[in-house]
Amino acid sequence: MNGYFIKRILYLIPTLIGASVLIFLLYSLVPGDFVDTDPNLTAERKAELKELYGLDQPLVTRYITWLGNLFQGDLGYSMQFQRPVTEVLGNYIWSSFFVALASLIITWLVAIIIGVISATRQYSLFDSIITVLVFAAMATPSFFLGLILIKIFAVDLGWLPAGGMITTGSNYTGWEYIFDIGEHMLLPVLVLTMLSVGGLTRYFRTNMLEVVKQDFVRTARAKGLKEKAVIYKHAFRNAMLPAITLFAFELPALFGGAIITEQIFNYPGIGAIYMQAFTVRDYPLLMGFTMFIALLTVISNLIADIFYGIADPRVRLK
C-alpha cells in the first residue's frame, strides 16, 4: 500500500508539469493580452507595461519563470485586480465552495435515496414519475431554471432574495450574518441541486439494477434473508462502490464555481470572476486558477484510486 501510494505521488509530478505546459501554451498563444485590451493606453505606455509584466520576453523564458513561481506557491499576479492571484482566489473561491458543498451534500442524499427506491420498485408508478422528473430536470437549462425560481420565490412570493451574497447595506454580525448568507445561498444551491440530481439518480438506479441481478444477491435471498437485508446490506453496499470514484472527482467541482448560476444570481463566486478575467484577458489569473483546478483533479484521481482499493478487497494495489 505504501509503495503504491509513493508511486502515485511520483506520477503526479510529470502529470502536473505536462498540464502546466498545455495551460501556458493555450493561454499564451491566444492573440492579445490585458494591456492590448485597454484602448486608453498609448503605444509607449503599452510597451512599458509589457516590459514591466514580462510580456515582451520569449515564450520559453516566460514559461520557465511562471513554472518556477508555481513551485514556490506563487500563481502569478492578476493584472485586473492588481493583486496576487492567490489572494484573489482566496477572496472569491470560498463563496463558491460553500454553495457547491451544500449542493453536493443535498444532491447525493436525494439521489441515493430516490435511486435506490426507484430501482427496487422498477416499472412502478413511483419509478415512472421519477424518470419523467429526472429527464425534465436534466433537459432544463440552468439560466431558465434560475430565472423561474427568482420569479417565484423572490418576486411573486418574496420569500428569498433575488441575488447577491449578503443584504445590501446590512451590518449583520454573528449568527445574523451567517443566516443572511445562508438565505442568499438557498436559490443558487437549489438550482445546482436540481440540475445535478437527475443524472446522479439515474446513475444509482442503474447500479442497483445491475447488482440485484447478480448471483450473490440471489444467494442471499435463497438463504432466507429478509428483502431489506438483501437490498441494503448486500446490494446497496456493492452498488455504491463505483460511486467512490465519482465522489472523489467532485473535489475540483467544489472549487470550480458555477459560472452561469453565479451570473444569474449575481453571486460573487470564482465562476463569475473567471468570466470577467476572460473578458479582459487577465491571463495570469486564468492560468493560475486553471492550474489550481488541474492540481485538484490529479489529487482527486489519487484519492479515488486509494479509496476504491480500500473499499473493494478485490482490487489489488500494486
**Can you tell me which residue has the cell 438506479?**
205
Look at residue 313 in the predicted model and tell me its pLDDT.
61
- CB-CB neighbours of 157 under 10 Å: 9
SS (H, E, C) 128-170: HHHHHHHHHHHHCCHHHHHHHHHHHHHHHCCCCCCCCCCCCCC
Taken in order 119, 121, 123, 127, the sign of the CA dihedral is negative
CA distance 203 to 119: 11
Identify the segments of the chain with pLDDT beneath 50: none
154 to each of 99, 150, 157, 190, 297, how far by Cα in Å?
Answer: 18, 5, 6, 13, 36
- Report which of 158, 249, 147 is spatially closest to residue 188, judged by C-alpha positions: 147
**pLDDT score of 241:** 75
Q: Residue 315: its pLDDT value, please?
A: 59
- For residue 2, the model assigns a pLDDT of 64
Question: What residue type is assigned to position 241 of the chain?
Answer: L
Q: What is the pLDDT of residues 212-260, one digit of tens each?
A: 877 877 887 788 778 777 787 777 777 777 777 777 778 787 887 677 8
Q: 202 and 115 in contact (C-beta within 8 Å)?
A: yes
The pLDDT of residue 145: 85
Query: Are 198 and 135 in contact, with CB atoms under 8 Å apart?
Result: yes
Q: Over the chain, what is the mean pLDDT? A: 82
- The DSSP 8-state label assigned to residue 122 in this structure reads T
Tens of pLDDT, residue by residue over 155-164, are 888 888 888 8
- Domain chopping of the chain, boundaries: 92-283
Instruction: Please give the model's pTM, rounded to 2 decimal places.
Output: 0.80
Residue whose cell numbers read 515564450: 59
Helices and strands per DSSP (H, E), number in the chain: 15, 2
Please list, residue by residue across 267-298, b when 16 or more beta carbons sit within 10 angstroms of its beta carbon and e when fewer do: bbbbbbbbeebeeebbbbbbbbbbbbbbbbbb
What is the residue whose three cell numbers read 509589457? 50
One of 1.20.120.80, 1.10.3720.10, 3.20.20.100, 3.30.70.20 is the CATH number of 92-283, namely 1.10.3720.10
Quote the pLDDT of residue 46. 78
Looking at residue 169, its pLDDT comes to 75
CA 90, CA 270: separation in Å to the nearest integer? 9
